[in-house]
Amino acid sequence: MALTQVSSNKCAGGLQKVYEHESTELMCKMKFAIFLPSKAETNKLPVLYWLSGLTCTEQNFITKAGSQLSAEEHGIIIVAPDTSPRGCNIEGEDESWDFGTGAGFYVDATQDPWKTNYRMYSYITNELPKLINANFSANPDKMSISGHSMGGHGALICAMKNPGKYKSVSAFAPICNPMQCPWGQKAFAGYLGSDRSTWEAYDATVLAGSYTGPQLDILIDQGRDDQFLSASQLLPDNLISVCSEKNIAVVFRLQPGYDHSYFFIYSFFNDHMKHHAKYLNI
């Protein structure tokens, strides 16, 4: 699969790049950002996949999270894809900020007119890693995953649906129980249809209840002053309760004064890199 370089910037000793390619899963052009630490010039390095939230592109994370310094320090490649297909000319794709463009929700859609293009789950777990492993100095046996909000939901379900594929998982303010919140109900109904039993395959709280794979060590940071926490969109208590019943290890940190923004992510991203480095640098 041919890659076209969109940009390249020296950063923190490494290179922050953006590429574009034709996606076979999504049937459109997709962009992803990749930070290559200086060690990538001579070594195959582990990869952290970062999944962004509603309305984001590949740009939000690389310009706001301050991730490059810790990625360089730990020698970890970070890949940050776009959040959804774009420009597919689907009727209604740009009508709302929480569905369609910028809101792929990391599912494989089964409903018309979305099912041809909106296959972000398969893109993230299959096509994108193959692309990265084939074109960059990535160690294919050392992958981890993280994300924010809708992307935190994506990171959790990717880890739970693929036991052992990812060495570690973390999330900032994830949508933990989308079947029970307005954002998730809108997205799942549109992409997956009215049969709620099909939604369970993409709900971290439900997946945790039936998880039987290798031990997960999950790190979640949540801002206490997050407006979407108080609006019952994120529902972390539901996930924590199920993980406790199933003896799935979760470190949940409620951070006083922090909201849902990238200021919050910037403040604690280094902790998440240390969490992933424990598993990726073994």
Is 94 considered catalytic here?
no
Question: Which one from 149, 168, 170, 267 is the annotated catalytic residue?
Answer: 149
CA angle 64, 184, 93 (to 5 degrees): 75
Question: Which one from 23, 226, 272, 275 is the annotated catalytic residue?
Answer: 226
Question: Which strand ranges, in their side-by-side order, compose the sheet holding 28-36?
Answer: 3-11, 14-23, 28-36, 77-81, 45-51, 138-147, 169-172, 217-223, 249-255
**Strand locations in the chain (E):** 3-11, 14-23, 28-36, 45-51, 77-81, 138-147, 169-172, 217-223, 249-255
Is 267 considered catalytic here?
no
Is 259 considered catalytic here?
no
- CA-wise closest residue to 118 among 234, 23, 18: 23
What tokens does 159 get? 């880890």
**Rounded Cα–Cα distance for residues 276 and 70 (Å):** 11
**Rounded Cα–Cα distance for residues 187 and 197 (Å):** 14
Backbone angles phi, psi at 40, to 5 degrees: -65, -15
Residue 113: is the preceding peptide bond cis (ω within 30°)? yes
195 Cβ contact list (under 8 Å, min separation 6): none
Question: Which one from 74, 148, 153, 260 is the annotated catalytic residue?
Answer: 260
Buried (b) or exposed (e) across 227-241, using 16+ Cβ within 10 A?
ebbeeebbbbebbbe
What residues are annotated to the active site? 149, 226, 260
